Amino acid sequence: MAFYGEPQFSTVGDTFIVGCEFGKSIVYRDTTFHNNPDATNPKFNTKYGMYEPNCGLSNVYMSWGHDEYMYHVLKHNKSTLPEEGLYMIRFHSFYPWHAGGDYMHLCSNKDLEMLPWIKEFNKFDLYTKKEKIPDIEDIMPYYQSLIDKYCPGKLK
């Protein structure tokens, strides 16, 4: 969407923390964040911004994206995914953290324990799609069993 005129900071893609200075590894940070209103707010242009050191990623505000949406849908519906799975879903597009090393000063010990899980999941995320579309009928029983196990019933 950023390539079609939408401001990069407000489109789906890499997620980042709001309320503190932008991570240096955010994609297109230097060329597209100039219209982000946080860029001119002195309160949000420091290392910690509105946060305390090591406050934990569960206590910061993130740019909105499909990760956060799916995480909240699963939590709301009382998914039985383990905590590691929920972290992988919530933070897999947070590349400035897990790939760029930004925002480590805001991480709790729990976040650092979960980081290897997110890096492992990332191997199966971006650029892993195949040109040949899989046979849905063939793979449906396997994926339906996972859905039934971790997200039983009708989701709200």
Task: List binding-site positions for Fe cation.
Answer: 66, 92, 125
Binding site feature residues: 66, 92, 125
Place of tokens 């040949």: 132
Rounded Cα gap, residues 53 and 95, in angstroms: 20
Nearest to residue 67, comparing CAs of 126, 134, 133, 154? Answer: 126
